[in-house]
Amino acid sequence: MSSQNRRHYSPADRLLMQADAALRTLLPFSGHPGRPSPAVTKNDASLNDKEARHVAGLMRINHTGEVCAQALYQGQSLTARLPQVRERMEKAAEEEIDHLAWCEQRLHQLDSHTSVLNPLFYGLSFGIGATAGMISDRLSLGFVAATEDQVCKHLDDHLTQLPLTDEKSRAILEQMRLDEARHSAMALNAGGMRFPLPVKFGMSLLSKVMTKTTYRI
């Protein structure tokens, strides 16, 4: 989009857009995916109660992870300095809405629920994203890459834990894995810094807190 055709939003406009994004992220079934769920063409598996509870716990973790990613991108787009960086954040956030909706649909099919801790994790992630954006776009993009790398590791682990018959959950996680890897590469190619291992280790510890708490609640 040319600079002449690009719409310029006021700070008040952007705050209202952030509030709308938060509601669409946190309210049940309020996010409308731009792509159909990869699960729609897959067979419905017959899972026993133990398997269904475990799959629901995994999908709840991934749903909360997407809540965090959505908040991170929204916070970064609010404070990003370069217009092209802001546009990349907003595009990635749109794709995270797809992931949110897909995970929520699957949880509903499993007669389960999203995490009650989502508002807390949204607020924390939004603050981190906004702070990173205020410091520098390079740091902000680096944070995206490091976060998406963590998400990919979680998805790889969850794919090994799914029952072999659960084609629906597997299709969702595999497509999410492709999207998240692309987001990470996009952030690095746009100039994001590569975080050192101690920082990534700290991020891994924080992600473990999220996964442990949201598996059940």
Angle between helices 11-26 and 118-135 (to 10 degrees): 150
Going by the annotation, the residues of the binding site are: 66, 96, 99, 148, 180, 183
Residue ranges of the binding site for Fe cation: 66, 96, 99, 148, 180, 183
CA distances from 15 to 31, 41, 125, 131, 192 (A): 18, 38, 16, 15, 25
Residue with tokens 């409308």: 32
Residue appearing with tokens 């992220």: 25
Residue partners of 17: CB distance under 8 A and separation at least 6: 9
Question: CA dist 39 to 102, 107, 184, Å?
Answer: 8, 12, 24
Q: Are 113 and 64 in contact (CB under 8 A)?
A: no
